[in-house]
Amino acid sequence: MAHIVVVDDASFMRGSLKFIIESSGHEVVGTGKNGTEALELYKKLKPDLITLDILMKGIDGLAALKAIREYDPEAKVIMVTALGQEEKQRQAAELGAAGYIRKPFKQSEIIDEIEKALGEKVGTGDA
């Protein structure tokens, strides 16, 4: 069971993601609604994984991803994106995102993506 933080500016999305993640046996230890909160929560809760919505007001998902990966180069970050955001997705990949969840959500995709990210060793540290 992994500790996961969910960040999205819409409470509906936060609620839905939390529900799906928890019904697959993981624990959502915190939720945030913008990029600033994302970094704060990451520092405070040291989760195994964090999900970030790409489009958010103010500090968006990409900026938060960058900040979190700078703070912890091994951070596992899953980006929440939508169709038509291929360019942002590419940027996220460059910044070291561990995976993507596409909106509208499908439960199976979310779980697969999370399991995949948790299973992989991210970064260059030795096992």
Partner 1 sequence: MPERDKTDFSQFLGEYLADVKESFQIMSNALFALEKDYLLTEPLDELFREVHTLKSSSSMIGFSGVMQLAQVVEGFLDRLRKSEVRVYEESIDILFEAIAVFEKMAGEYAESGAVSFETEGRAGALRRGIARLESREMPAFQGIIALNKERHIEWLNPAAERMFGYTSDAARGRHVSMLIPEPNRGEVEQFLAEYVEKDERESISREVPGVSKDGSVFPMELSLSGMNLPERRLFLMIVREAGEFKVKAELTTAIEKIQTIRVGTDLLDNLFNLVGELIINKNRIDTLIAPIEKKELKSAIAVLNRTINALQENVSASRMVPVDEIFRRFPRLVRDLAKNAGKEVEFIIKGGDIELDKAMLDSLGEPIIHLLRNAVDHGIREDQKPGAIRLTAKRAENHILIEVEDNGRGIDIGHMKEIAVKRGFIAPDASPLMQDRDVLNLLFKPGFTSAEKVTDVSGRGVGLDVVKTVAGKLSGSANVVTKKDEGSRFTMSLPLTTAIVQTLLVGVGEHIFAIPTDIISETLGIKREEIKVVQDAQVLILRDEAIPYFELSEVLGMNHRTTSSESRIAVIIARGERLIGVGVDSMIDQKENIIKPLDPIAQQFRSFSGGTILGDGSVALMLDIPVLLELKIG
Nearer Cβ to partner 1 (96/113): 113
From the list 55, 48, 61, the residue with the least C-alpha distance to 97 is 61
Nearer Cβ to partner 1 (58/123): 58
Nearer Cβ to partner 1 (23/70): 23
Tell me, by CB under 8 A, how many residues bind partner 1: 23
CA distance 35 to 8: 9
Tell the smallest beta-carbon distance from residue 46 to partner 1 (Å).
Answer: 27
Q: Within 13 Å, how many C-alpha atoms sit on residue 65's CB side?
A: 28
| Residue 115 within binding range of partner 1, rule CB under 8 A | no
Show the DSSP H helices in 31-119 as ranges: 35-45, 61-71, 86-94, 107-119
Tell the smallest beta-carbon distance from residue 16 to partner 1 (Å).
Answer: 5
| Residue 58 within binding range of partner 1, rule CB under 8 A | no
